[in-house]
Structure 1
Amino acid sequence: MTDSIRTPASANAPVSGGKSPAGAPSHRRNNTPWSVRLALAFLVLMLIVAIGADWVAPMDPKAMNLGARLRPPVLFGGSMAYPLGTDGLGRDILSRVIHGARISILIAVAGTLIGAVLGTVLGFLAAHFRNGVDQLLMMLVDVQAAIPSIVLALAVIAFLGNDLILFVLLVGLDGWERYARLSRNLVRGASGAGYVRALKMAGAGAGRIHARHVLPNIAGPLVVQATLNFPGTILLETALSFLGLGVQPPETSLGQMLGDGRGFLLNAWWIAVVPGVLILLTTMSVCLLGDRLRDRLDPMTATGR
């Protein structure tokens, strides 16, 4: 009787030309959308160019040549000596974009790390101590969320002056409350897990449990949050530099170049358009990569894949 209802072996065998179930994961690993692949390739290229800016840039970004000022890009009647044209002081746009991208990426990465570390630590403290500490930290989170980052940065720079280290710290304060809320909720959820209870029964201290066991288990959502916050950090740096409150001459950044080009939009549009397009592509690429990481690392969305 049992033999009559047993599933035949041929029913589980792969069809002709197909792969065995063991080969299924390799198929799922190769279903990355082409847009995400392009975004990742663009970000890798940006990182390589930013690291090797001193060797990649064809000219000195600070060198002025008033005889070659406002030259258009090569595709719009310019010369190959200045592929992306020149600005109002005759400086090579391509060289300035390369060096500006390095500074903008450095500020954005440092700011993102500062916000992630600060918010995660405060979230762990709120989840661990609870009661009054939790209420105080969550009140600070609400205050930070209610104040626009650019308004806070403008106020601090107006009182303390403009300094690159201070500017990086201000950019880093953008979005820390998101990490604090996320890490607090994740730690609270993990505190009831079996492995945490077992570690407590074994006599492990709270610091060891959080640092060596809880943090690695909640790192995925925090990394996704960092990739989603990174474009906002770049845009904040761009906005402050556009207003003249960020990177100061003779150094340059993409936001500063965008601000310098606003007075030439009618007769030399490339001064603002070139860094603007690069900012757009960078933020879009990071957003695409962040969405993909969220789909892969978030258990709520990954279970449906």
Structure 2
Amino acid sequence: MSDDALSQILKALRLKGSVYFHSFFKPPWGISVPALGNVARFHMAIRGNCWLRVDGVDEPVRLAQGDITIIPHGAAHVLSDRRDGEGTELEEVLVRSGFSGSGELAFGGDADEEACKLLCGHFEFDEGALHSILATLPSYMHLADTKTVNGYWLEAVMRFVASEIVEEKPGADAIVDRLTEIVFIQVLRSFVDNAGEAAGCLAGILNPRLGRCLSQIHRDPSRSWTVETMAQEAGMSRTVFAERFTALMGMTPLNYVTHWRMHLARRDLLDTAHPLIRIAEQVGYSSEASFNRAFKRQFNVTPGEMRRSAHRPTEEHALNN
């Protein structure tokens, strides 16, 4: 089965799911989670309910049993049993609860019958990842009552993840990471289903015709792409394609091609020792000079400067040892 556009983008961004803990909170309780860049944090209510207040968002969000929320930009937030409850700093919660780094995190008062069980973690992306899908995601995504999304599978998956964390069986980390990545993709799909074209770039990526074109661009970035050839891949007229693409993706088709090429070039610059001309040709530039100009317009540094800057600490460390 060939990769679709969303799968290709998430692979390029190096999406990696990770679960912090399976938590058990008894009223009264509140946790203040600090901001953390380059991650999308998530919380799922396995049992009971709680309130979520995201920094910069006016209204709090109520998480009921079965709900999942993702905070795409790693913003600071407070989880609490009360709508306006204050939160204890996360680091202090970890110390006071005696959390060892695995198993269940228990915190709060004594009201067992009103306890809230949450599955908490994050989705991490490649540092410096370059794609508009990240910038256009909202402050938070709330998927209410996951039983309504493709049956009961999502809630069942998350309960299975919770049991793997608690039981700590061999291979549990790998299972948990892969399953949470699947959950992230499903939440993105559901967000587009609910938001429609208001989802912007993500709606464009999941659009059947635009997605088919994007998949071909991702698969063959060195091709001499024009608006006409992209429109043919999408099965649309040139004018309609250009207007639709720009409206949903937030950039022109040719700008997107450059955007994707630069993302791939940056990755290869940092991950390989390939000569600049080889990287340039792989992403569609026939000369190193034209590649350098395009790269500098995107990143404000030349490819050579970025590579030297990235490897300088390692080189200095080697010289000092």
Q: Per residue, is there more helix in 1 or in 2?
A: 1
Higher strand fraction: Structure 1 or Structure 2?
A: 2
Report the TM-score when normalising by structure 1: 0.25
TM-score scaled by length of structure 2: 0.24
Compare relative contact order (CA 8 Å, sep 6+) and give the higher one, 1 or 2: 1
Structure possessing the higher radius of gyration over alpha carbons: 1
